[in-house]
Chains A and B, each alone.
Chain A
């Protein structure tokens, strides 16, 4: 269980995230949603210890240190691979450093995305780089896989197939936290939605609960964010009235 208690992170005087309480259990597929600047990336970086924060993040009761951090992996749109190293080189590196590295999964995903094995990563296209980033996060052998906008720049065909594949390869103990703006695309794939707004969590609901309520993810998000469907029409009307 990954437990986040009273997590707050300031950048200067501005709180990027504050009062975050969140538990992530084994096997959950969590969607982390929020507008740009809501604090999704900061939250993930705090969990991974990539930035300092107040509060606590524990993994099965233990603080996250170098001893247990290999149980977490991270796929980020900033990319965390070595640009001059080939995919094969990365595989060798992970095998050497992560005892639970999943080589079979790596090979299967490389085949699926048809990525070259021996070309340095810097020569990959942006889409290929994103795919590779996700492949390594999934192959590290981590229990908690954090993905921050992993598919920015990928075409829809690759994304949809990938979600299906992901559902097929994940083991019951593997937990995924996926931050994305592509809400509709992942709505059938995630089983819990966490909504973050201006640095704090404003909603946390399981897909099964939404189903019981006869609602869906999109509706839940719109409701939680006080989405006003008439605001576009209103804005256009105002422009019209003002003589453009």
Chain B
């Protein structure tokens, strides 16, 4: 891609242009980026579904049946949100982060695979090899972090909105008042 055309580039073309300059030369960076995004989405989906499953079970036990009607148990309190998110978030995102680090290591090793292009890279500025090995995994990690924050907010919103206020833990109840005002703004 010519530099002069850069202003006319679409965001996707800009992304490809950036990745082309920040991945090992000749690597299939488009495919790798798409793979990382798909894996991230799977990780995000797993984390979110794990939360939803845990949350629905936790919510179900808040109620009892009285003459065919669902009634909130007296003094019932829903499980702590940290506990509900723990399983999905603590499994999916660290696994994704480990995968990203693995991709970086594999890209670093690629300069010694099939040929010794590391000899050429050693005649370039020092950060060139590291930049080309770890820029894409770092971007993927940042995207992962952003998705984790987004999903965590979504989970909190569901937790606060969908749970009867009297069943929320005391701390959450106090905090959610401010949170809901913030969301409604």
Contact = CB atoms under 8 A, between A and B. Distances in A.
Contact of A120 (B24, B26, B118, B125): B26
A45 to B, nearest CB: 8
A48 B122 contact: yes
A69 B123 CA distance: 6
Q: Is the interface of B mostly helix, strand, loop or mixed?
A: loop
B132 to A, nearest CB: 10
B53 interface: no
Interface string A179-199: 000000000000000000000
Interface string B57-87: 0000000000000000000000000000000
Contacts of B117: 80-83
Interface residues of B, number: 19
Interface of B: 24-28, 113-120, 122-126, 128
Contacts of A76: 116, 119
Contacts of B25: 82, 84-85, 89-90, 93
12 contacts: A48-B119, A74-B120, A76-B119, A79-B116, A80-B120, A81-B117, A82-B115, A82-B120, A84-B27, A84-B28, A85-B25, A97-B124
Interface of A: 48-50, 66, 69-70, 72-74, 76, 78-86, 89-90, 93, 97, 120-122
B130 to A, nearest CB: 13
A49 B26 CA distance: 25
A102 B89 CA distance: 53
A152 B113 CA distance: 20
A120 B28 CA distance: 12
Contacts of B128: 97
